[in-house]
């Protein structure tokens, strides 16, 4: 099974995010990919290859042209205004405001296209987020060639990014772009299984009114965890998409007993739906030692997790999302893939 990775993704390297009322070092940093690559190489889990360049069109199948253009030009404009630090918003459009009008000012645009203060843009962001989409698409292409599995080692991650909004360390929704690419390649009954600790609000919103992609998410309950404003169990899809979104939120402190059983349930639902191809938004921030999360999975649990997904017996694309306990991240991600490969 191939891992796809682009060194250009490492050009996104934010200094600080604003969290807990203070500036903290970015949790989402290049060291995450480095440690995963080192572990995959040490375990000989398959070739690590660079992505092909599929151009910008597959991105535009998911994201709006204005949003893509904003991300492409934001840093240059920021610099042209004489600003030097990383780019972060400080005001957002909110309830009762003009949410459908894009301001001319760069600060206005920042607030229009983003939803949190943890997701800085800097000089290498565009190259990195573009590369991450190509990594995701190349993984999808592997499946369309008939491979049973692939791992798109994406960063920055993607599942919080919506059609025209970024946040949660995410800019382009890599998993959604890969999924759309599969559909456009003639695949049917594609499902997304999101097992990042946080609800994938971007993925949900992209597919919410559609019945061609089933989205199932296991995550910390939004009433007590980021992203707070989406991810509740009564969100089941809208219009023709009704019944094509399933949220399985769990309380803080959740361990493998509940998590494993909930994953079994999710896979049963996907079986009933008739899923033929699976895209897994893989976050290892469900780990007990994750610095920003409150679930209790162990490194060993990730082997079992990979085995459960393998037992589902469908071509599977893993797309990396979160996971911030960097020392264990390589082991945890490699454990998922080891469990997956061992039981095929
Ligand atoms: C892809 C992904 O996993 N994005 C997660 C973004 C989470 N951003 C909010 C972080 C809030 C951290 N709160 C820390 C509490 C413990 N000090
Ligand atoms: Zn996460």
b/e per residue 204-213 (b: at least 16 CB within 10 A):
bbbbbebeeb
Average pLDDT over residues 155-172: 98
Pocket probe for ligand 1: among 198, 281, 333, the residue whose CB has the most ligand atoms within 8 Å is 198
Answer yes or no: are the C-beta atoms of 37 and 153 closer than 8 Å.
Answer: yes
**Residues 88, 85: Cα–Cα separation, whole Å:** 9
Nearest to 343 by CA among 310, 319, 299, 297: 310
Cα 118 to its chain centre, rounded Å, is 15
13 is known as an active-site residue: no
**Residues 146, 314: Cα–Cα separation, whole Å:** 11
Q: What's the CA dihedral at 271, 274, 277, 281 to 10 degrees? A: -50
pLDDT value, residue 343: 65
Band of pLDDT at residue 46, cut at 50, 70 and 90: very high
Reported as a single tens digit per residue, the pLDDT across 186-228 is 999 999 999 999 999 999 999 999 999 999 999 999 999 999 9
Pocket probe for ligand 1: among 12, 201, 226, 321, the residue whose CB has the most ligand atoms within 8 Å is 226
Reported as a single tens digit per residue, the pLDDT across 65-112 is 999 999 999 999 999 999 999 999 999 999 999 999 999 999 999 999
Answer yes or no: are the C-beta atoms of 280 and 216 closer than 8 Å.
Answer: no
Band of pLDDT at residue 26, cut at 50, 70 and 90: very high
Reported as a single tens digit per residue, the pLDDT across 230-276 is 999 999 999 999 999 999 999 999 999 999 999 999 999 999 999 99
Q: Measured on CA atoms in the order 114, 293, 247, 319, is the torsion positive or negative?
A: positive
Q: Which atom of ligand 1 is nearest to the CA of 157?
A: 1
């Amino acid at each position: 099974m191939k891992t796809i990775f682009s060194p250009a993704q490492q050009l996104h390297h934010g200094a600080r995010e604003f969290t807990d009322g203070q500036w903290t070092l970015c949790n989402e940093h290049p060291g995450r990919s480095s440690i995963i690559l080192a572990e995959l190489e040490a375990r000989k889990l398959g070739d690590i290859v660079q992505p092909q360049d599929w151009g910008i069109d597959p991105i535009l199948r998911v994201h709006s042209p204005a949003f893509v253009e904003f991300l492409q030009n934001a840093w240059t404009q920021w610099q042209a205004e004489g600003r030097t630090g990383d780019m972060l918003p400080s005001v957002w459009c909110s309830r009762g405001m003009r949410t459908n009008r894009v301001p001319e000012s760069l600060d206005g645009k920042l607030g229009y296209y983003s939803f949190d203060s943890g997701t800085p843009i800097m000089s290498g962001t565009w190259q990195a987020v573009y590369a991450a989409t190509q990594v995701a698409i190349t993984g999808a292409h592997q499946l369309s060639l008939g491979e049973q599995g692939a791992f798109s080692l994406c960063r920055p991650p993607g599942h919080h990014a919506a059609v025209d909004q970024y946040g949660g360390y995410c800019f382009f929704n890599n998993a959604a772009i890969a999924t759309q690419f599969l559909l456009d390649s003639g695949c049917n009954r594609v499902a997304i299984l999101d097992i990042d600790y946080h609800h994938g609000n971007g993925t949900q919103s992209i597919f919410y009114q559609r019945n061609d992609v089933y989205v199932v998410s296991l995550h910390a309950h939004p009433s007590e965890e980021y992203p707070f404003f989406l991810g509740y169990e009564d969100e089941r899809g809208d219009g023709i998409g009704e019944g094509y979104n399933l949220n399985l939120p769990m309380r803080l402190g959740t361990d493998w007993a509940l998590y494993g059983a909930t994953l079994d349930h999710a896979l049963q639902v996907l079986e009933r739906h008739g899923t033929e191809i699976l895209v897994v938004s893989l976050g290892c921030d469900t780990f007990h030692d994750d610095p920003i999360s409150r679930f209790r999975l162990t490194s060993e649990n990730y082997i079992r997790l990979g085995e459960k997904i393998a037992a589902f017996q469908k071509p599977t694309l893993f797309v990396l999302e979160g996971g911030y306990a960097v020392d264990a991240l390589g082991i945890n991600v490699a454990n998922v893939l080891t469990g997956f490969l061992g039981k095929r």
